[in-house]
Amino acid sequence: MQEVVQNASIFLESRRYSPIATTGSLGRLNVNGVCVLGETIFIQAKDHADSHVVPTMVNSTHWTISNVTLQKYGKNLFDIMK
């Protein structure tokens, strides 16, 4: 079973300085009022590798992102040596 990633920051690749959403307690997100046409979505979460995904058009006004698996970082060498 995969771990749910809460509080992941969601950005448009073109605006990485300001998140457009964060994932909730179930690892889901909903964004309204943002055009993602031609955009790549950038996902950043603590202790996980960053991910880049391209939304899929559902119809002329709705887009979706399929399930995204974020790679979790292993133990840091310095943590192992403590």
pLDDT in tens, 18-73: 999 988 888 888 888 888 888 999 989 888 888 889 988 899 888 888 777 777 77
For the entire predicted model, the pTM comes to: 0.77
Q: How far apart are alpha carbons 24 and 4 in whole angstroms?
A: 9
User: Domain range holding 35?
Assistant: 1-82
pLDDT band at 1 (very low <50, low <70, confident <90, very high): low
Residue 33's CATH number: 2.60.40
Helices (H), 1-82: 77-80
Q: Number of structural domains, the chain?
A: 1
Question: Strand (E) positions, 4-81?
Answer: 9-12, 21-22, 41-44, 51-53, 56-57, 63-64
pLDDT band at 3 (very low <50, low <70, confident <90, very high): confident
